[in-house]
Structure 1
Amino acid sequence: MMQKIQRFGGAMFTPVLLFAFSGIMVGFSILFKNPEIMGSLARESGLWYQIWNIIEQGAWTVFNQLPLLFVIGLPIGLAKKQQARACMESLVIYLTFNYFLGAILSTWGPTFGVDFATKIGGASGLTTIAGIKTLDTGMIGAILISGIVVWIHDKYFDVELPEFLGTFRGSAFVAMIGFFAMIPLAVVMAFVWPKVQGVIAALQGILVGSGVIGVWVYTFLERILIPTGLHHFIYTPFIFDSVVVEGGINSYWALHLSQFSSSTEPLKTLFPEGGFALHGMSKVFGSSGIAAAFYVTAKPNKKKIVLGLLIPATLTAVVAGITEPLEFTFLFIAPVLFLVHALLAATLSSIAFSFGVVGNFGGGLIDWIALNWIPLFSNHTMTYITQIIIGFIFTGIYFVVFRYLILKFKFKTPGREDEDEETKLYSKSDYKLKKIEKSLTEDKLVDTGKILLSKAEMIVKALGGKENISQLNNCATRLRISVVDENLVQDISVFKKAGAHGLVKKGKAVQVIIGLSVVKVAEEVELLMGNNLSI
């Protein structure tokens, strides 16, 4: 069950990868249209304003079509075969569902307690999906429909029909089944979802009213669940759905950025829900303290090697908000340090919130600068100065606590291993690339595609060969694999020689920490398996 949940969580991350760039472009568009910042250049009648208005409308695409993105994106990670066709089927069946739901409410709306004649948005509970006026089931509805379609697809896509019904095979057969399945589901949703919307509205008030405690619990769960891959289930509803604010924090923040930037009221008064998007504080300030502690406690003869490992990993965490390469260097060496990390991260967010820091701080410095500091700094200077001061204080706290625990309990963090384990650390940075490049040079393989292919070959071998791989998908930085026999999976050192950052094993569920090139590596692994190469 855990394996399936992890796979689902990884699939949810597929569309989430699109939000960073879109959010930055929305932020810049709003910034460059703000007359308080740009002066007369930002007149609505001017060419500058008009150009940035056009850019902004395009940048809103991802946020305005969020349900469609999840409907199309989930089958990429969930479907076991013919993922592209599963995406098409999911979209068609989801639109069919919404046509059914809209027609049911248009005909019998009062029966279900819905006034379908009211305008969409606000408290109406209505929205438009691809031009269809329907009940706003948000991301949950999209995930539900997509999950049903993937199940139908995997079960019935390859069903053999009589020759004279050949035109109804494959995707057509899946769409037919989905068509009839959506009718009763639409009826159930028309009855149930308005009540769910009421619960969500009440939940928003409870969570916002929970204040510092709510922020602490949310941040702690978001961090502590990272090793399981279940942290997606914590932050996704807050950031991208209507758990605390309509449309999700990401969309709501960007939509009201101009209003927030022009107001001199405290940001915490304007947007208290922004306390649930402070989990990126630990990515920037905590990661820096952890890295410093690792470097200081490393053996003198290994400090250069450790520095070579920590600089790219820390920069990735601080700038892009991707913390896994850093966190997984110590998670399975000393799990208690990860618990301490989660506790400190939650405390950092809650203290920052108590001092009035709110916003969209779930990522790294790129998001912070584009979506928070630049557009809002003029009227909210002290908020961000306060944030930076608290952050640096916690960098010091992270450093002191981690250094003490590492030395006190003699944890073998990077640079503290036995002498014969030196290559393990070295292979996580430049050495692992040298090893691969050396083997490729000997085999006269030189281009980037071949480098990744060689990495994929080594990973497949380390997994026990392609016959031992039953399922494969990926999230932002990790390959997620189901194996037939977990005993055939080799030691973590073998995966590191292939260029991986780490390995997570739990029964037949295996996660290989790759980094940002994971999508390409996953494609190459699939290619190797599909081509029946000798691995």
Structure 2
Amino acid sequence: MSSAGAAAPRTPWWHNLYGGLQKMGRSLQLPVAVLPAAGLLNGLGQDDVFGKDGLGWDNVARVFAAAGGALLDSSLGLPLLFCVGVAIGMAKKADGSTALAAVVGFLVYYKVLHAFPVACKAPTVLVGDQCVDFSSARAAAATYQNPGVLGGILIGLASAWLWVRFHRTRLVDWLGFFNGRRLVPMITALVGLALACLALWVWPPVGDALTSFSRWLSDLGAVGSGIFGLGNRALLLIGMHQLLNTFVWFQFGDFVKPDGSTVHGDIPRFLAGDPTAGQFTSGFFPIMMFALPAAAMAIAHSAKPHRRKEIYGLMTSMALTSFVTGVTEPIEYSFAYIAPALYAVHAVLTGVSMAVTWGLGVHDGFSFSAGLIDYVINWGLATRPWLIIPIGLCFALAYYALFRSIIVRFDLKTLGREDESEVEDVTKD
């Protein structure tokens, strides 16, 4: 027998961990939402727009390129964006002081890391913040331990936890000025210092391991792209695909820009003009612009006749959102949990699209997602972007045929095919 005063059962630790990872995945969407601005500014700064090969307004192009580059800077700009975004997303009832604490912690962390440059490779020697080759009178910027966006995410998590833990803390009267929210940035600065010291020691082997994994995927070529695409869609089901994306998209790989600065990550490298970038982004365009809209139409066509008009209206809206912006979650979540077989087909075919696109030499990327907006803006940076259209049309036909046949053959209860009793219950609710 149970008593009224019995304690409620404790939630298993893995449920809390899963919930926390899901929340962090959602928090990562906030800084990602800033990237379209960075992509647009960067695109306007290209030579074929306002630059020498376009309108010839070199100074205007330089302004746009510098503005976009500030947000895409893989050493400072991007990590800081992720730091603040995660801090705001993870802290309960966060306010401006949460973001301030995150900025304070990150700046301390960043400057401590940059106080210890990595030893220069012979024959260069370290002079100030440059590696100088006296025999040729050439110099290059020194490098530093760079956890990049992962470091920013870590500082953001620490800032959120510290804010939740200490924003209501009251000190003794003579220190009352530093009560609550004013205390959090001070503590975060000390934590940022400690994390920087830890990163100087821990990051080299961790970074090498992550780089080795990413290089393994990269060296597999089209197969590696396919594995990434499959994993990305599989993790979307539990809201954790951004955890896979972060290192590969924003940190893996190096590209030295004409001005001598170095950018990291598949997306920043592509937007900076690296012709070898786009391996882990190109294959999403056929899926998001063509295949998933076709799947949406297959679901609508499979609806019961008396509900078809209603479902067509809903799915058309979702299809346009996917095609124009690359936001696919409304379509994917419409069938992922009620028809897992369809989602399994979708995940596998996304991997196939990634492999086919890369195998055919298509190099394309995005600042936000693989929709029409990014496709048009980044046309000048891409390699063979026109191939995305025929590839996408082929995948659209495959998606429509497979979704339609599987839904009808196995009588899956996709939108518009639910039992009448379920529709009535939903309408009442």
Q: 1:153 to 1:77 in 2, by over 3 A?
A: same
Cα contact 1:28–1:371 (8 A) shared by 2: no
Cα contact 1:249–1:277 (8 A) shared by 2: no
Are 1:66 and 2:78 an aligned pair?
Answer: yes
- Which residue, 148, 162, 177 being the options, matches 2:172? 162
Cα contact 2:270–2:381 (8 A) shared by 1: no
Distance 1:61 1:85 in 2: 24
- Matching residue of 1:331: 336
Cα contact 2:25–2:239 (8 A) shared by 1: yes
Distance 1:271 1:395 in 2: 27
Gap runs ≥5 in structure 2: 1-16, 120-124, 132-138, 256-262
AA at the equivalent of 2:106: Y
Matches within 5 A, 1:256-405: 256=273, 270-271=275-276, 273-360=278-365, 362-372=369-379, 375=380, 383-405=384-406
AA at the equivalent of 1:216: G
Partner SS, residue 322 of structure 1: coil
Distance 2:268 2:20 in 1: 29
Q: 1:35 to 1:329 in 2, by over 3 A?
A: same
AA at the equivalent of 1:293: A
Cα contact 1:240–1:249 (8 A) shared by 2: yes
Are 1:139 and 2:144 an aligned pair?
Answer: no
Cα contact 1:76–1:87 (8 A) shared by 2: yes
CA deviations on 1:474-512 (whole Å, 9 max, x unpaired) are xxxxxxxxxxxxxxxxxx767xx6xxxxxxxxxxxxxxx
CA deviations on 1:159-178 (whole Å, 9 max, x unpaired) are 22111110121233223333
- Matching residue of 1:51: 60
Partner SS, residue 60 of structure 1: helix
Cα contact 1:284–1:321 (8 A) shared by 2: yes
Cα contact 1:208–1:272 (8 A) shared by 2: no
AA at the equivalent of 2:376: I
Cα contact 1:12–1:70 (8 A) shared by 2: yes
Once the two structures are overlaid, the 10-residue window that deviates more, 79-88 or 183-192, is 183-192
Matches within 5 A, 1:224-235: 224-235=234-245
- Matching residue of 2:33: 17
Cα contact 2:87–2:160 (8 A) shared by 1: yes
Matches within 5 A, 1:379-458: 383-421=384-422
Cα contact 1:284–1:318 (8 A) shared by 2: yes
Matches within 5 A, 1:453-464: none
Distance 2:393 2:37 in 1: 27
- Which residue, 233, 253, 264 being the options, matches 2:270? 253
Cα contact 2:326–2:372 (8 A) shared by 1: yes
Cα contact 2:50–2:60 (8 A) shared by 1: no
Q: 1:417 to 1:84 in 2, by over 3 A?
A: same
Cα contact 2:283–2:350 (8 A) shared by 1: no
- Which residue, 196, 203, 210 being the options, matches 1:186? 196
CA deviations on 1:380-399 (whole Å, 9 max, x unpaired) are 5xx33432212111111111
Q: CA deviation at 1:6?
A: 0.4
Distance 2:315 2:291 in 1: 13
Distance 2:152 2:351 in 1: 30
Once the two structures are overlaid, the 10-residue window that deviates more, 177-186 or 80-89, is 177-186
Q: How many residues align?
A: 390
Distance 1:116 1:238 in 2: 32
AA at the equivalent of 1:404: S
Are 1:237 and 2:247 an aligned pair?
Answer: yes
Cα contact 1:208–1:244 (8 A) shared by 2: no
Q: 1:310 to 1:185 in 2, by over 3 A?
A: closer
- Matching residue of 1:446: none
Q: CA deviation at 1:205?
A: 3.3
AA at the equivalent of 1:308: G
Q: CA deviation at 1:53?
A: 2.7
CA deviations on 1:254-292 (whole Å, 9 max, x unpaired) are 1117xxxxxxxxxxxx41553444224311121122022
AA at the equivalent of 1:252: R
Gap runs ≥5 in structure 1: 43-47, 127-134, 258-269, 425-491, 498-535
AA at the equivalent of 1:303: R
Q: 1:82 to 1:333 in 2, by over 3 A?
A: closer
Cα contact 2:106–2:155 (8 A) shared by 1: yes
- Matching residue of 1:98: 110
Matches within 5 A, 1:211-230: 211-230=221-240
AA at the equivalent of 2:103: L
Distance 1:251 1:272 in 2: 9
Distance 1:22 1:419 in 2: 48
Cα contact 1:302–1:415 (8 A) shared by 2: yes
CA deviations on 1:326-383 (whole Å, 9 max, x unpaired) are 12222222122111111111112211211111210542111011112xx258xx5xx3
* TM-score, normalisation: structure 2: 0.82
Q: 1:62 to 1:184 in 2, by over 3 A?
A: closer
Distance 1:189 1:92 in 2: 17
AA at the equivalent of 1:22: A
CA deviations on 1:99-156 (whole Å, 9 max, x unpaired) are 33334x27xx76xxx9684539989433xxxxxxxx4221111111221222222112
AA at the equivalent of 1:371: N
Cα contact 1:70–1:142 (8 A) shared by 2: yes
CA deviations on 1:38-79 (whole Å, 9 max, x unpaired) are 3xx42xxxxx33223323322333213111112222121111
Partner SS, residue 148 of structure 1: helix
Cα contact 1:253–1:360 (8 A) shared by 2: yes
Cα contact 1:27–1:370 (8 A) shared by 2: yes
Cα contact 1:125–1:194 (8 A) shared by 2: no
Partner SS, residue 274 of structure 1: coil
Q: 1:173 to 1:187 in 2, by over 3 A?
A: same
Matches within 5 A, 1:490-529: none
Q: CA RMSD in A?
A: 2.9
* TM-score, normalisation: structure 1: 0.67
